[in-house]
Structure 1
Amino acid sequence: MIEKSDHDKCQVKEQINHARDFWSKTLRSARHILAPMVDQSELPFRLMVRRYNVHCTYSPMLHSRLFLEQPKYQQEFLQTGPEFDHPFIIQFCANDPEIFLKAAKIAESHCDAIDLNLGCPQTIAKRGHYGAFLQDEWSLIYDIGTIKYFPIQFFEYNFFKSQFSCSKSNKASDFAGASLITVHGRLREQKGSKTGLADWTKIRLVKENLRIPVFANGNIQSKIEVDKCFDETIVDGVMSAEGLLYNPALFTGKPLAVWDAAYEYVEQYRKHTSSFSSIQEHLELRNVVGKTHSIEDFVKVADQLKKRYHVEYEKFIADDQHTKEHPKNWPVFIFIDNTNESVVEEPVKKKIKKEKKPKGPKPPKILPELCSQCSHPRGLKCDFGYCRICCRQKSYSEKVDCQGHGFRSKLLKSKNDNS
């Protein structure tokens, strides 16, 4: 091992002190974190979950090159609430130090930290050469991370590649000046149907061998898992993504009725309007989503949910059942509704003569066709056979249109050029 000079040791010590100050002062010792999510960690949702013990929030993952080249893309995702949404971290995927620098310089006044995504394991990240697939080029990661543009650098690692040795010799200086890292505790091969559970023992190993703050991500579905994760990993903060989508009050450990969650989200949406697709993503009542472009229809859904379940909810609270049962066993009206059921209209009962079904083997179930780039269902009318997320990325990055999803990248670029 090469011995460090006194100057190098001083620099490492200075970096470690900066990293600790960054977490305690800039991030205000954040313990509960909303993870970045494509199209779902927009401003109204971020402000909503902050009411429920979320200390720090992320933007959706932003493509650094598209962020620079497309003003509409930049404007959409720089929607921030400076008085309410802090500490706030903007996450980029990047594979070019200069592009990352330029994007970060634009974004820095809107956030408290910049996060480089080194965790996305999806096929689109492999094709775009970013996310977890940058881990094959540690020299490039170092070049991106050591650009000196402002004193906040923040990284995310998707564990666990053989090139990343977690030996006792790994210290903060190995992470190219990072002030904090997030570890997912999964192999990059663990995606789609192979996702599986995150390995908290590996997260603890990282924490024990670094002298900078570490966040953990993975397996967080309730406050019970949050507390358990802190105990088993000894990390500084725990983040959740899907867990908060299903239960925005996850970090409180207390029940939240689905209608109250819907009312609160709509309230934030009205104050800080984002794209209408964001409210469709959060209030997953598909029979309503496909027929409306009115926010009032979603309020009616919440009204119907409350009318149907509020008696049971009041009894659940009165009996103090939420302290006796694991959150996974709480009734459906506690979480954000994630079914295909529409409750806007009660079905009209008609007497219909039932025909006798012929005896014989049951026909095989017809499974939905999957996106050719990931494990999500493909859009039925998509020109490329992609899901909405992958199609959007393709439209932005390759400047092509999709009639099925309604993306018009060329038309948008033309309008921007003429303006």
Structure 2
Amino acid sequence: MCFSKSFPFHLQFCGNDAETLLEAALLAQDHCDAVDINLGCPQAIAKRGHYGAFLQDEWELLAEIVNTLHTQLSVPVTCKIRVFEDRQRTIEYAKMLEAAGCQLLTVHGRTREQKGPLTGIADWSYIKEVRQHIKIPMFANGNILGLEDIKRCLTETGVDGVMTAEGNLHNPGIFTGQSVKTWDMAAEYLDFVQQYPCPVSYIRGHLFKIFHHLMNLRPNADLREELAVSNQLEHFRTVVGKIKHKYEPFHMGAEVYVAEEVDPSVLVIEEGLNLSLPPWLCQPYIRVPPELHKQIIAEKVRLAEDPNRLKRKFFDPEGNEISRKRMKKLRRRLRRPNKPEGKHERSLECCDQCANPVGIKCEYRLCRICCREKCYTENRDCPGHGILIKSRHKKAKKFENQKECKQNSGVSDDVDEATNECSANEKLARILHSAETNTVLSGNS
């Protein structure tokens, strides 16, 4: 793992099985200062996987998970949750986690249903009430869009620190209290990508967050399209360079900036509430209020069902009217002009043991079925097919050895738990000390 030890480093896990989470946390505890359990994710992937905020009604399971990690790990166990509509139930929820062994609780002031266009405003009063009823350290989450929000949240809720997520994505310099130039932040991010490679979709997603306000301007439609289809690091750097070339003269005062037209397909809040910062500076994204979003969607549905509505017309480069489907196909061709026409069928090589096609990345030149049988029989791995029999056996054996060593060590479980808790408390104290130091520094900035 590559990270700086100048500040506390937490690893967050999500899951719904105590033993599986413990196995993962045991591998991580020597490389971090605390293990956090994500009980606040409201996304569809968390619902499908049955974790995050979709466990908040299963208190017995959560108590088992938290207690298992608390008693078996040498680092503090922390949790992040969302609130219930019922304030008292939220308080009881926090108390249950505290009793189970949670040593630091982060409370997001939104319910599980508040997400996407219906996110709305986080209610800090829930967080304040929870703070008054539990004794462990506590962080707040929600509505943190700038440095002033951090100070105000600490004052209004009485918590020990804050956690921020979306605010960082749009302005990674949030803790400096400054709005830096988007192209500088994007270039720094791409330098990290070059040092620590990641999937292209991650890169594209982060850059769209940083350039959010610029990409919503109609004159930048071509730049938005270019960023959307970029698939190499140099392509992303080219887009960043074009944005810098276009907007740096305005930032330096060499040219006068005239506000550009916003894409009408993008929902914006009322004009009187818009931010005054120029769009080339990193700044918060203010979501449309849920009520306004519902009104706009209802209006779109009404217009779509209107039999007298005017349909949008599409034309090819020669001026001939074409269908929407045909226009999409033309746009795809323009994005990739060198792509050969027609379907390209690769020549299939047969498996050494049967008539099925061989896996392209298979180390043994076998199809998936034959490869799986070989790996099970000979205790091997095949990364190309994602078959990791040897690795899993090795991991399971290591876990069993750890449990056996602990049972045969001659030291009682009570002593082990006391030692772990002592070590965890020391690390928790260091984390809180660091949080207090950062708060003081932020207050002096």
**TM-score range normalised by the length of the shorter chain:** 0.5 to 0.7
Q: How does 1:108-257 map to 2 (within 5 A)?
A: 108-147=29-68, 148-150=71-73, 151-160=75-84, 162=86, 165=89, 174-257=98-181
Q: 1:139 to 1:327 in 2, by over 3 A?
A: same
SS in 2 for 1:283: helix
Q: CA separation of 1:225/1:327 partners in 2, compared to 1, >3 Å: closer, same or farther?
A: farther
Counterpart in 1 of 2:12? 91
Q: What secondary structure, in the 3-state scheme, does the structure 2 residue paired with 1:301 have? A: helix
Deviation at 1:100, TM superposition (A): 1.0
Contact preservation (8 Å) 1:283, 1:337: no
What percentage of residue pairs aligned between the two structures are identical?
40
Change (3 A) 1:138 1:170: closer
Corresponding residue for 1:381? Answer: none
Letter in 2 for 1:191: K
Are the counterparts in 2 of residues 258 and 337 from structure 1 also a CA contact under 8 Å?
A: no
How far apart are 1:202 and its partner, in Å?
A: 0.6
User: How far apart, in 2, do the equivalents of 1:112 and 1:98 lie?
Assistant: 20
Change (3 A) 1:311 1:215: same
* Alignment gaps of 5+ in structure 1: 1-79, 317-325, 339-359, 366-407
| C-alpha RMSD of the superposition | 3.4
> Distance in 2 between the 1:166 and 1:291 partners?
44
Task: Mark the CA change 1:253 to 1:157 in structure 2 (over 3 Å): closer, same or farther.
Answer: same
Give unmatched runs, 5+ long, in structure 2: 209-222, 255-272, 286-307, 314-367, 373-381, 391-445
1:173 Cα deviation (Å)?
7.2
Q: Distance in 1 between matches of 2:282 and 2:117?
A: 24
Whichever of the two has the greater Rg, that structure is 2
- Call closer, same or farther: CA 1:254–1:173 in 2, change over 3 Å: closer
Aligned to 1:321: none
In the alignment, the residues of structure 1 paired with residue 181 and residue 34 of structure 2 have an alpha-carbon distance, to the nearest angstrom, of 33
Matches of 2:35 and 2:97, distance apart in 1 = 18
Equivalent of residue 203 in structure 2, options 276, 279, 298: 279
Tell whether the 8 Å contact from 1:119 to 1:131 is kept in structure 2 after alignment: yes
Cα distance change on mapping 1:194 and 1:277 into 2, 3 Å: closer
- Give distance in 1, aligned partners of 2:140 and 2:384: 39
SS of alignment partner, residue 313 of structure 1:
helix
Look up the SS of the partner of 2:249 in the other structure.
helix
**CA 1:337–1:362: 2 relative to 1, 3 Å:** farther
Residues 253-303 of structure 1: per-residue CA shift (max 9 Å, x gap): 212001100111112222222233321221126422443332122222222
Deviations 1:325-360, CA, capped at 9 Å, x for gaps = x9932111002899xxxxxxxxxxxxxxxxxxxxx8
Q: For the Cα contact (< 8 Å) 2:63–2:96, is it kept in 1?
A: no
1:334 partner letter: L
Which residue in the other structure is 2:28 paired with?
A: 107
Q: Larger % of helix: which? A: 2
Residue 225 of structure 1 deviates from its aligned partner by 2.0
Verify the 8 A CA contact 1:172 1:211 in the aligned structure 2: no
Give structure 1 regions of 4+ aligned residues with deviation exceeding 4 angstroms. Answer: 161-164, 166-173, 410-413
Q: How does 1:18-417 map to 2 (within 5 A)?
A: 80-83=1-4, 86-147=7-68, 148-150=71-73, 151-160=75-84, 162=86, 165=89, 174-284=98-208, 286-315=224-253, 328-335=275-282, 361-363=309-311, 414-417=385-388
Please report the TM-score for the alignment, with normalisation by the length of structure 2.
Answer: 0.53
Q: Which residue of 2 aligns with 1:376?
A: none
Query: Match of 1:114, SS?
Result: strand
